[in-house]
Structure 1
Amino acid sequence: MTTNRNPKRPSGGKTSGKADKKRGGRKRGRHWFGWFLATGCLAVVCAVVGYLLIVLNGERILAANQKAFEFAETTIIYDKDGREAAALATVENREYVKFGDIPELVYRAFVAVEDRRFYEHEGVDFWAIGRAIVKDIMARSMVEGGSTITQQLAKNMFLSHEKTFFRKASEASIAVALEKNLSKDEILELYLNRIYFGRGAHGILAASKLYFGKDDLNKLEIWEIATLAGIPKAPNVYNPISNHERSQERMAVVLSLMEQQGLITAEQVEEAKKKAAAYEPPEDAYAGAASQKYPAFVDFVATEAERVTGLTEEELRVGGYRIYTTLNVNAQQIVEKAFADPDNFEESADDRIVQGAMVIIDHRTGEIEAMAGGREYQNKGLNRAVQPRQPGSAFKPIAVYGPALESGDWYPWSKLQDEKKCYGDYCPTNPGGKYAGSITMRQALKESRNASTVWLLNEIGVDRGLEFAKRLGIELDADDRNLAIALGGLTRGVTPMEMATAYSVFASGGVSVDPHAIVRIEDRKGKVIYQYKAPEAKRLIKPETAWYMTEMLQAVLEKGGTGTKARINRPVAGKTGTTEHGIPGFKSSANRDVWFVGYTPEWTAAVWMGYDRTDEQHVLKRGSSMAAALFAKVMGEALKDVPASSFTKPEGVKTVVKPPTVGGFSVTWSDADLGVRLSWSRQGEGLLYRVYRKAENEDEFELLTVTESTTALDLAVEPGVTYEYYVTVYDREHALEGDKSTIRGVTVPDSIWPDPELPSDFPDGDFDGNDGGIWPFPGEPDDSGIPGDGEDGGQDDGQDGGSGTIPDGGWNSGGSNGSRNGELPGNSESGNGGAGQPAGPGNGETEEGEAEEPAPVDGAPAP
């Protein structure tokens, strides 16, 4: 029998194994606890040593830099040929204010938005740093700063703004040292006097005077305080002069933070927003801005440099960088000369001038050649080239005609309905209330017809228009999902830069264009810190779409189109745009914005004109022809040294044959008709013929009439004058015009009228139509050929002011009501002139300010 020698130990293998494991677990637990304790002690020692090193390092930097600051060196801008063109301004606008003179709400606002735990930390906010580290790890880059106000002051005084872990450590060292040597009030005083507020203003007092004209901070209102507190995050973006809209957005964020921290009430927030919306810069707001060459272009370059390098505006100004750009000095000087000439702009009733902007892009490379930010533009001013405005009809190719062509179901010769029609509560109308019934797409765009444009967008769908605009770089607001976008009625509007970029896609044959102003940037040691690399070109639209659009936009510059003023001595395609004033209760045909956006085979340009603030006293009386004329003046001269080329037609494009050239054309004087008789051979069925005429004292041929017949009779001639004529064939189905015929001339005999001294023949003794005078021969109708002067109801040249001079070949040129038995229309700029009786409407001004083509004679339908 076996005896258990250890009565304390239970018998059985299992029980014994459990006890062994328990003892082993206790040993391992003591082992890990020891390691944990040792590691914790080591971490504490390292933390203490690290903290001491941080403090000592900060104290060392402070001691070594009490009066030493990084030497400021001017940054130079170079043009596209590598020549020095301009310099970023280095003049500082700084005024010091003592902490006791800074209202509590002012410095509390900065604390609320920049460092809400400012009074709780000792220079470094570890909670904020932890949050920043997490965000940096998630983004795999240094995206979150986590800096306190004290750290920002340290960075501003002693360090670069480069985001690296080493720089952040030094920044923390200095911040801790600053907190040990200065009070919180002293730190805030230094901070508020050193931070940069944009446009050369350093410190809160300089910014208050610059943006609000107030040299006493106690007079600042809540919205002004919030605006100032929002600027330092991005001075070039959030200051109210350079970008009022973005400034208001940032101010709203600051107001919200101030409300959350109990500094202001919800009612004060709403009141502040209302006041900010009506902001006007002080009269001398631009006086402090340092002048420089090509300021708008240089400002745009500075903004682009901030974006591509991550440097601040202040670092760029004093960092001694060399920025090589795409600036075309010749084009820039031409643009600035044109914007300095008041003759190119409508005259204002007071000191608030009509403003404008222009952008020129080489769409073959994406290089921005030149830019105008406004008239009398000064450094860091409001760059209107990047400010949104309503585009009017210039948006039609982007939202309607482009997407229709892209669908493959529509072509330039496709027929559209041009009728007055409502779509729910939206009832678009054509200028002058005239409708064609049916019209080709090409003609509708050429004449800028509203009704047919909206009809087409309704056919293709608004979503298709929005998607096409997005492809061209314009992402519209969610509230823009409606038919009003067809006529450029947008929530936010678009900038001249965006419009130029969008049209560049048409010009480039449908591939993407990347507008840029910077080629490369070097630091003061010559090291390249940025090099532009063009993104891979993407096909955004079909080449056929781009070609058809170019053909249609070229027609806009032809006779009868709205953009004839934009013609230069090389191919141009483009579109005008006009927006109504939109002032409630103000009855006027005046405009708010006028545009011309166009391109040659080489360059694309956008021109905008209007007032910065539109009211009843500040509206445009002239139309988009003003913008078109400026486009022609600038582009015609700027392109002189650029080799001319042609728009390239892609393969496989469906085409329509141009109408044939008229043959058998003859011009003779007819004694029997007392007029010039023209005749030609018929070229086919369903075609119209356009007859053009030029007198010997006129510079250009003008359209005389449109007819289905192969003959025409010109009765509006003067004795002894030589006239020249030619005829073209017009295909109204496809809105195409053939080449002109041979030019033929004839001289009218010196004596073709009866003797005006015969009172028995003329009741009032002359031919002027006074007192109802008519052509005297019995049985002759009133259209016998003798014009009256339109006074007192003369029947030949129209009532109410007919001129009798017949400058356009019509009988009632200038008459606002006249008719000549319906044969030829009037030429009233108001659009209600010469109501022909059966021939149709007169030659009224269209929406874009250009005359439509006269109605035809002999009752032929208008093209």
Structure 2
Amino acid sequence: MVNNSQSRTARRKQKKTKKKPLWKKILLSIIIIFIIMGLGAGATAAYWVATAPDLNESKLSDSLASKFLDIDGKSFAVMGEKNRTKINYDDLPQVLIDAVTATEDARFFEHSGIDLRRIGGAVIANIKNGFGSEGASTITQQVVEKSFLSAEKKISLKVQEQWLALQLERDYSKEEIMEMYLNKIFYGSNAYGVATAAETYFGKEDLNELTLPEAAILAGLPQRPTAYNPFENPKLTKERMNTVLDLMVRHDKISEKEAEEARNVDIPSLLVEDKPETTPYEGFLQQVEKEVKEKVDGADIYTDGLTIHTTIDQDVQKHVESLLTDSDSNPIQYPDDEMQAAMTVLDTKTGAIRAIGGRRNSEGKRELNYAIQNKTQPGSTFKPIVAYGPAIEYNKMSTYHQINDDKPYEIGGTDSVIGNWNGQYAGWMTARHALKQSLNVPAVKVLEEVGYEKAKEFAEGLGIKFKDDKILVGDAIGGTGTEVTPLQLAGAFRAFGNEGLYNEPYSVTKVEFPDGKTVELTPQAEPAMSDYTAYMMTDMMKTVLTEGTGKNANIPGLPVAGKTGTTNLKDREGSPDAWFSGYTTNYTISAWVGGYEDEGGGRDVIPPGNGNTQIPLQMFKNTMTEISKDIETKDFVKPDKVIEAEVEKGSNPPAKPSEHTPSNKIITELFVKGTEPKETSEKFDQLDPVSGLTASFNEEKSAIDVSWEYDADADVSFEVSAQVDGGEMQALSTTEDTSMEISAVEPNKEYTIQVVVVSNEDDSKSEPKTTTVATGEEELEELPEVTGLTATYNETNKLIDVSWNYNGPPATFEVSVNGETQTVQSNGLEISGATPGETYNISVTPIGKKGKNEGVRGPTQQTSVTISAEQEEPPADDDGGDGGADTGDNGQDNGEARPPEEENEEPPSDENGQTDDGSDEEQGASDES
């Protein structure tokens, strides 16, 4: 038993001593894993190598042309098939070879197609900064990539590239590969291959004439041919040239002295005077290039033989470009050559770019594209994006929402204020009114109401990127460091016209590679706001065009919405930028003008006057009218969540009008369903009408006496009107008394008298009360003769004084003096210029002037006076006139009768009842907010 037990113990100890340590197990496991991974990697690499394309000699010679198709699939541009002159290796000067190898592949003539040292450095950089951050491609690999592969940053393609590079080095000499490379590379300005580039930029057909600076420029161009284009960016070109010179010194291709001499060269002095021909639709193609570069990894539109399906509408593009020229047929009149302008046209439904006008008088030579590259402040076009849109989206603000525009807005913690552009402040007003008049204070207050973070979230959903990722109070009016391009702004506005759906504007729908591979690029739209927000903002911006600051952009018969915008400079009058962004259900357009610079190169304002800041509105109207004329443009559809509701104007919170609210106090506004007003206003509750209304005819005064009864304590007035024989009721007067006399009424008429009670507090009114009265027929009253008619001669004044009395119905008096007659209103007159020895026979006849007596003649009374012949003749006038006789009112001499001054005569009145006393009553009117 003991022996057996000992044997088992010994065996257990033996097993324990043979058990392997843990670290050995771990090491063994790691080795096994690496072996498996190695086998797997090897198998994968073998698969990639096996599926690599064959070396096709025909593709090694030239890069492939890319073709651009419009919305109808028609080719409108080809890049890469022209402007190429092939050269042989023997044509290459050593300075060019040295510059190229120092820049692109210093050990080109030493390696076998791949450079292991460069690969090692690139691996370390990619581990630190991510895959693709640094390449290790040799010139041989670049030839392979541009000839057979896409430029996507994939491990599989990199393995295939290296494999094919080894094959290429096996089949071709270094000289042949260098020749392929320099014939294939794109150098900008539509130049392919180094020979064409040398002629394009320097006018040199013989490459052996190239100088060191020129060779360095050509060697540096392929990295970024657009950015380093010496025609457009000589400063960047020189920086790149200096980099190449430094590399040549480092790799012992040139001396430091030679490099220093080359660095002192003036780049423009090297260039030819005639720039290359323009590219069609340059502004649009710049956007295409940008999108392909960003979305298709490594693709090159100039060398990869791509078929690029674009969104361009050539008819729209041509029209846009025509408005940016100075041709005689252009209806847009620019003030000078300095003003720059840009415009983008989008499809409202999809966001597809239909046209881009990048600048005025574009030469198509890679100039600054103001539509997609030049960012500037958006001004008041930001109000729908940063203030009103977010307020509707998050606070369900109505278009009636009341805002107090009472004074300039003080920015907290600063001495700055935000004021309205017109310098006026109109008190409480609707959001619709504030937006259509583009008032700043209400917009800032709305931003405060909705909150900065909510507003920022809303705007970012429309593609807006705030400076330093921070929203400021001034962003409500587009006056901060946050800037946009016309393309960005059009993209944001398009969402309002597309039921709130947004996607970034795009110019490319898909890209096809020569091997049949296709990359789809059409973006998917995402909701940026609710449909009710989009519709309500659109409805408000319709008012901008019909009643507000955008009237010059309105197009009758077309449902269109939009917003104006201008910017300011500190301590400067005027605007450096003017904007208009607007849309229909089919198209969205953003137009901009500006670009002025002062003597110091800083921004300057648009020349004042002549409607220069209105030019974007003209650009919009002309373009939208043209592109909409042959298509149906549907109106925007109101979603179920939007309610149209009548509101009593001025009510706050909004209230429904009562049955007594005057029609001019009722407006219709939009509300998010569930927020429409529920309460009815009591402001215009109807007043009680008058009672005991009576009217009687006073024959003696030929007047109507009207009286009524009303509460003596009520703060009211009474509006009295009259109607004659069923005619139009006309207001006579307003009084606070309870009676009135209506004078000078017509006889034998039926008068309907109306009295309405009007509140002195709120202008509310009562129902009218009426009564009827007939005026009696006026009897013909006989006119009596005048009495006491006398005529006496006043020797002192050399006048005959005639006077009489009259007691009868109203009359004028016909006075005859020796057969000469005149009519006077008074009971007397003076006859000047009496002649000694003459007898004057005077007669006076009354003539009725009122009612049935009008024109009736009464009896005539006569008298006479003789001037004694002994009266002394008056001395003659200095001018030799007849002498002595006074001139009467009508300018006649000798014997003219002149009535005496009438003390109580009223001045005559014009047809409006205004007295002609030399003073005009001041008229005033006030606009209602």
TM-aligned CA deviation for residue 386 of structure 1: 1.2
Q: Which of 466, 476, 494 lines up with 1:504 in the alignment?
A: 494
Larger strand proportion, structure 1 or 2? 2
Residue matched to 1:654: 643
Mapped to 1, the partners of 2:174 and 2:60 lie a distance apart of 23
Residue matched to 2:390: 403
Q: Which of 618, 628, 645 lines up with 2:617 in the alignment?
A: 628
Q: Secondary structure at the match of 2:541?
A: helix
Q: Which residue identity lines up with residue 503 of structure 1 in the other structure?
A: F
Alignment partner of 1:370 is 2:355: yes
Residue matched to 1:481: 471
Q: Which residue identity lines up with residue 542 of structure 1 in the other structure?
A: S
Q: Which of 53, 74, 79 lines up with 1:83 in the alignment?
A: 74
Q: Which of 370, 382, 389 lines up with 1:384 in the alignment?
A: 370
Q: Judging changes above 3 Å, is the alpha-carbon distance between structure 1 residues 167 and 511 closer, same or farther for their aligned structure 2 residues? A: closer
Mapped to 2, the partners of 1:497 and 1:262 lie a distance apart of 45
Q: Which of 358, 363, 388 lines up with 2:343 in the alignment?
A: 358
Residue matched to 2:587: 603
TM-aligned CA deviation for residue 21 of structure 1: 7.0
8 Å contact kept, 2:408–2:441: yes
Mapped to 2, the partners of 1:13 and 1:118 lie a distance apart of 73
Q: Judging changes above 3 Å, is the alpha-carbon distance between structure 1 residues 95 and 778 closer, same or farther for their aligned structure 2 residues? A: farther
Mapped to 1, the partners of 2:619 and 2:341 lie a distance apart of 10
Q: Judging changes above 3 Å, is the alpha-carbon distance between structure 1 residues 612 and 325 closer, same or farther for their aligned structure 2 residues? A: farther
Superposed CA offset, 1:610-665 (max 9, x none): 227665796422543210111110110111111121111111313333899xxxxx
Q: Secondary structure at the match of 1:416?
A: strand
Mapped to 1, the partners of 2:137 and 2:335 lie a distance apart of 50
Residue matched to 2:431: 441
Q: Which residue identity lines up with residue 452 of structure 1 in the other structure?
A: P
Superposed CA offset, 1:374-393 (max 9, x none): 22334462432212422111
TM-aligned CA deviation for residue 287 of structure 1: 2.7
TM-aligned CA deviation for residue 69 of structure 1: 2.5
8 Å contact kept, 1:80–1:326: yes
Q: Which of 446, 451, 456 lines up with 1:461 in the alignment?
A: 451
TM-aligned CA deviation for residue 207 of structure 1: 7.2
Q: Judging changes above 3 Å, is the alpha-carbon distance between structure 1 residues 405 and 93 closer, same or farther for their aligned structure 2 residues? A: farther
8 Å contact kept, 2:185–2:193: yes
TM-aligned CA deviation for residue 468 of structure 1: 1.1
Q: Which residue identity lines up with residue 507 of structure 2 in the other structure?
A: A
Mapped to 1, the partners of 2:31 and 2:394 lie a distance apart of 70
TM-aligned CA deviation for residue 120 of structure 1: 10
TM-aligned CA deviation for residue 544 of structure 1: 1.7
8 Å contact kept, 1:345–1:354: no
TM-score (normalizing by structure 1): 0.59
TM-aligned CA deviation for residue 478 of structure 1: 1.6
Q: Which residue identity lines up with residue 559 of structure 1 in the other structure?
A: E
8 Å contact kept, 1:211–1:285: no
Residue matched to 2:630: 641
Q: How many residues align?
A: 634
Q: Which residue identity lines up with residue 340 of structure 2 in the other structure?
A: Q
Residue matched to 2:408: 420
Superposed CA offset, 1:519-556 (max 9, x none): 4444557x461345552x43221222112111111111
Q: Secondary structure at the match of 2:547?
A: coil
TM-aligned CA deviation for residue 147 of structure 1: 2.8
Q: Which of 560, 585, 589 lines up with 2:573 in the alignment?
A: 589
Superposed CA offset, 1:327-362 (max 9, x none): 32322222222223455556465xx54222222122
Q: Which of 182, 190, 197 lines up with 1:200 in the alignment?
A: 190
Mapped to 2, the partners of 1:426 and 1:250 lie a distance apart of 44
Spell out the pairing of 1:671-690 with structure 2 (5 A cutoff).
683-684=662-663, 686=665
Q: Secondary structure at the match of 1:386?
A: coil
TM-aligned CA deviation for residue 324 of structure 1: 3.3
Spell out the pairing of 1:653-802 with structure 2 (5 A cutoff).
653-657=642-646, 683-684=662-663, 686=665
TM-aligned CA deviation for residue 503 of structure 1: 0.7
TM-aligned CA deviation for residue 597 of structure 1: 0.4
Q: Secondary structure at the match of 1:384?
A: coil
Residue matched to 1:674: none
Mapped to 2, the partners of 1:95 and 1:576 lie a distance apart of 54
Q: Which residue identity lines up with residue 637 of structure 2 in the other structure?
A: T
Greater Cα offset, 377-386 or 593-602 = 377-386
Q: Which residue identity lines up with residue 364 of structure 1 in the other structure?
A: K
Alignment partner of 1:570 is 2:558: yes
Alignment partner of 1:313 is 2:300: yes
Residue matched to 2:853: none
Q: Judging changes above 3 Å, is the alpha-carbon distance between structure 1 residues 376 and 413 closer, same or farther for their aligned structure 2 residues? A: same
Q: Secondary structure at the match of 1:624?
A: helix
Q: Judging changes above 3 Å, is the alpha-carbon distance between structure 1 residues 218 and 511 closer, same or farther for their aligned structure 2 residues? A: same
Which structure has the bigger radius of gyration? 2
Q: Which of 511, 515, 527 lines up with 1:539 in the alignment?
A: 527
8 Å contact kept, 2:508–2:521: yes
Mapped to 2, the partners of 1:395 and 1:212 lie a distance apart of 47
Mapped to 2, the partners of 1:280 and 1:371 lie a distance apart of 30
TM-score (normalizing by structure 2): 0.55
Residue matched to 1:300: 287
Structure 2 alignment gaps of length 5 or more: 252-262, 650-659, 668-718, 722-729, 732-888, 891-905
8 Å contact kept, 1:241–1:381: no
Residue matched to 2:541: 553
Superposed CA offset, 1:272-322 (max 9, x none): xxx9xxx99999899325533x3333343344344444353345x561x44
Mapped to 2, the partners of 1:76 and 1:136 lie a distance apart of 34
Q: Which residue identity lines up with residue 584 of structure 2 in the other structure?
A: T
TM-aligned CA deviation for residue 84 of structure 1: 3.5
Query: Could you say which structure has the greater relative contact order, defined with CA pairs below 8 angstroms and 6 or more residues apart?
Result: 1
8 Å contact kept, 1:387–1:494: no
Aligned-pair identity in percent equals 25
TM-aligned CA deviation for residue 470 of structure 1: 0.5
Q: Judging changes above 3 Å, is the alpha-carbon distance between structure 1 residues 179 and 326 closer, same or farther for their aligned structure 2 residues? A: closer
8 Å contact kept, 1:499–1:606: yes
Residue matched to 2:657: none
Superposed CA offset, 1:684-742 (max 9, x none): 47579xxxxxxxxxxxxxxxxxxxx9999xxxxxxxxxxxxxxxxxxxxxxxxxxxxxx
8 Å contact kept, 2:230–2:237: no
Mapped to 1, the partners of 2:420 and 2:135 lie a distance apart of 57
Q: Judging changes above 3 Å, is the alpha-carbon distance between structure 1 residues 154 and 216 closer, same or farther for their aligned structure 2 residues? A: closer
